[in-house]
Structure 1
Amino acid sequence: MKEKRNFKDIIFRGILYLWGLTIIFPLGWVLFESLKTNPEFFANIWALPEKLQFGNYIKAWKEYNFGKALLNTLYYVGGSMILGLFFTTLNAYALTRIEFKGRQLIWGLIMMSLFLPGINALVPQYVVMRDLGLTNSLSGLVLLSSLGETVFYLMILGGFMKSIPKEVEESAFLDGASHWQVFWRIIIPLSTPGIVTVAIFKFIDFYNAFLSPFIYLSDPDKYTIGVQMYQANKLMEYSADWVTLFAGIIIAMIPSLAVFIFFQKWILKGATLGSVKG
């Protein structure tokens, strides 16, 4: 039996379709422009390409160094995800499953940090990184990103861990297991859905990061994709090779789009995971 749709449902769906169009149309436009020649682009930005210029992608990959930038980004994102996810999981376990004095105070301070703009920590972080000799280093950037905890991820994973029955831990402790053994052998396997969700969010967050790589990296051979895109855009002041820049934009979008397409159910579920499970 088909569900009846009233007038409000139709209006709501229409608004969602229009909203989706505002997102899809610019992406489609950039894709078509990346397959043109520069004369075609400047002649008519709305016309379709006469012949598909896939060579723009090869040019963007080689001349604008997007290939090297993607490798740097994969190293930065991969390292930050592995270390950051471990620390987030460990912190969530300590703050939700272990009873100790001052735990609520720590949670309160963490929640208060939501009201503090992240830009406030920029100067002290840079001073510490400089004194430790970790500036202009992808490994230093990985360390900085991994140690910088995000409240949103703690809330998601902490809410999920709270749903695990306490009896599971208690029986393990009775058998002589330590906190580390309980964490590694029980909590992590049972929290896998939440961990995967946080991992996806972290990937998108790190992949799209611009400010930290822009500030800490000065060597062009170490630029991540976000910084490389910025540098390529600056070159347009002199070369006006916009079609190659558009090709670079498409290349830069492919990894994050692929992650979203393959894991969109996890991403949508993760937006309410902590509140539902908690």
Structure 2
Amino acid sequence: MTRWSTRTLLIHLCLGAVALSTVSAFGWVFNVSMKTNTEFLRTSPWTLATSWHWDNYAQAWANAHVGGYFGNSVVVSVSATALGVVLATFAAYPLARIRFRLSGAVMGLFLLGLMVPWMVTFIPLYLALQDLGLLDTRLGLVLVYATGNLPFNVFVLTGFMRTLPRELEEAAAMDGASPARTFVSVIVPLLGPGLASVTIISFLQNWNEFFYALVLIHTPERMTLPLGLFQLGQAADYGTNWVTLFAGMMITVVPVLAVFALMQNHITRGLTAGALKG
């Protein structure tokens, strides 16, 4: 029988309390999303729904345009994640595997991207997208998200690539493989955990990002889910349509929770492996 120390017991109790509060919050949102507006306004916030109104989700999806917001978020998040990971992979390979004089300086420039606060960048980004004709477009948002994730992705993938033995490239060169062939056929297949971790983290960040979408997107048909929920929240303040807002919240968070629950082991494996020499 395992005997727990007082410190271990306290840690588990604190973690359990945090987990319970989080689950309770999601349970409360789900319970409210199943009520009618009249029931929500006339009863206690913690009162259980008398019956489950699944039609609230259908109304949120169609009438409140959550379906359109959801589609925009999928397009923007998937595109920005794919572009950011591909660019980071190509940038990390020479930094990790090729020795050249300015490699440290180039890596330092990427790390500076992690230190620049968002409030310094949004005005130049706004003006640049305006000059390029990409303001209020999903393509402009994709480019902003992809470049925003680039410093972190490069940092993680560079550390992960440094853990791979150099003998692999030497053996490929002896077999007559070019550097490009070595990269595609030898290095990339070994990057599974690292690519999985940066892909999932980038996707979650892009899915939940609100500020740049608020600044750069003005047309309702191009809004992503966080911005769409903000609009639903304002509508609820003035129109008292609260259950639609809570149904939209559940539609927003369930895909994120599902992705993280299924892929959390890949995130941990990729980040810890990259931290060994990162």
TM-score range, shorter chain: over 0.9
Q: Name the residue aligned to 1:22.
A: 21
1:125-154 Cα offsets, whole Å, 9 max, x none, are 111111110111112221232233443322
Q: Conserved in 2, the CA contact under 8 Å of 1:156 and 1:273? A: no
CA–CA distance in 1 between the matches of 2:124 and 2:271?
Answer: 31
CA–CA distance in 1 between the matches of 2:59 and 2:180?
Answer: 51
1:86-126 Cα offsets, whole Å, 9 max, x none, are 00111111211111121111222333343321321111111
CA–CA distance in 1 between the matches of 2:132 and 2:81?
Answer: 22
User: Structure 1 counterpart of 2:128, which letter?
Assistant: V
Percent identity, aligned pairs only, is 33
Q: Name the residue aligned to 2:8.
A: 9
- 1:185-224 matches, within 5 Å, as 185-224=185-224
CA–CA distance in 1 between the matches of 2:126 and 2:184?
Answer: 34
Q: Name the residue aligned to 2:132.
A: 132
Shift in Å at residue 61 of structure 1?
A: 0.7
CA–CA distance in 2 between the matches of 1:109 and 1:61?
Answer: 43
CA–CA distance in 1 between the matches of 2:149 and 2:33?
Answer: 38
Q: Conserved in 2, the CA contact under 8 Å of 1:57 and 1:247? A: yes
User: Structure 1 counterpart of 2:168, which letter?
Assistant: V
The yes-or-no answer on 1:232 pairing with 2:238 is no
Q: Conserved in 1, the CA contact under 8 Å of 2:61 and 2:248? A: yes
CA–CA distance in 1 between the matches of 2:133 and 2:162?
Answer: 40
CA–CA distance in 2 between the matches of 1:153 and 1:113?
Answer: 11
1:170-213 Cα offsets, whole Å, 9 max, x none, are 23234443332222111111111111111111110111111122
Q: Name the residue aligned to 1:152.
A: 152
Shift in Å at residue 55 of structure 1?
A: 1.2
Unaligned 5+ residue runs, structure 2?
none
User: TM-score scaled by structure 2?
Assistant: 0.94
Q: Name the residue aligned to 1:172.
A: 172
Q: Conserved in 2, the CA contact under 8 Å of 1:229 and 1:249? A: yes
Residues 137-146 or 10-19, more deviating: 137-146
Shift in Å at residue 82 of structure 1?
A: 1.4
Please tell me the root mean square deviation across aligned C-alpha atoms, in Å.
1.6
- 1:253-264 matches, within 5 Å, as 253-264=253-264
In the superposition, relative to structure 1, how do residues 159 and 133 fare at CA in structure 2: closer, same or farther (>3 Å)?
same
Unaligned 5+ residue runs, structure 1?
none
In the superposition, relative to structure 1, how do residues 225 and 105 fare at CA in structure 2: closer, same or farther (>3 Å)?
same
CA–CA distance in 1 between the matches of 2:12 and 2:149?
Answer: 37
User: TM-score scaled by structure 1?
Assistant: 0.94
- 1:111-126 matches, within 5 Å, as 111-126=111-126
Q: Name the residue aligned to 2:72.
A: 72
> Secondary structure at the residue paired with 1:272?
helix
Q: Conserved in 1, the CA contact under 8 Å of 2:136 and 2:217? A: yes
CA–CA distance in 2 between the matches of 1:207 and 1:94?
Answer: 30
In the superposition, relative to structure 1, how do residues 148 and 180 fare at CA in structure 2: closer, same or farther (>3 Å)?
farther
Residues 241-250 or 139-148, more deviating: 139-148
User: Structure 2 counterpart of 1:147, which letter?
Assistant: T
Q: Conserved in 2, the CA contact under 8 Å of 1:96 and 1:162? A: yes
Q: Name the residue aligned to 2:31.
A: 32
Shift in Å at residue 268 of structure 1?
A: 3.2
1:203-232 Cα offsets, whole Å, 9 max, x none, are 101111111222111111111111111111
In the superposition, relative to structure 1, how do residues 168 and 268 fare at CA in structure 2: closer, same or farther (>3 Å)?
closer
After the TM superposition, which parts of structure 1 deviate over 6 Å for at least 4 consecutive aligned residues? none
Shift in Å at residue 74 of structure 1?
A: 0.8
CA–CA distance in 2 between the matches of 1:119 and 1:177?
Answer: 46
Q: How many residue pairs align between the two structures?
A: 277
Q: Name the residue aligned to 2:44.
A: 44
CA–CA distance in 1 between the matches of 2:221 and 2:149?
Answer: 28
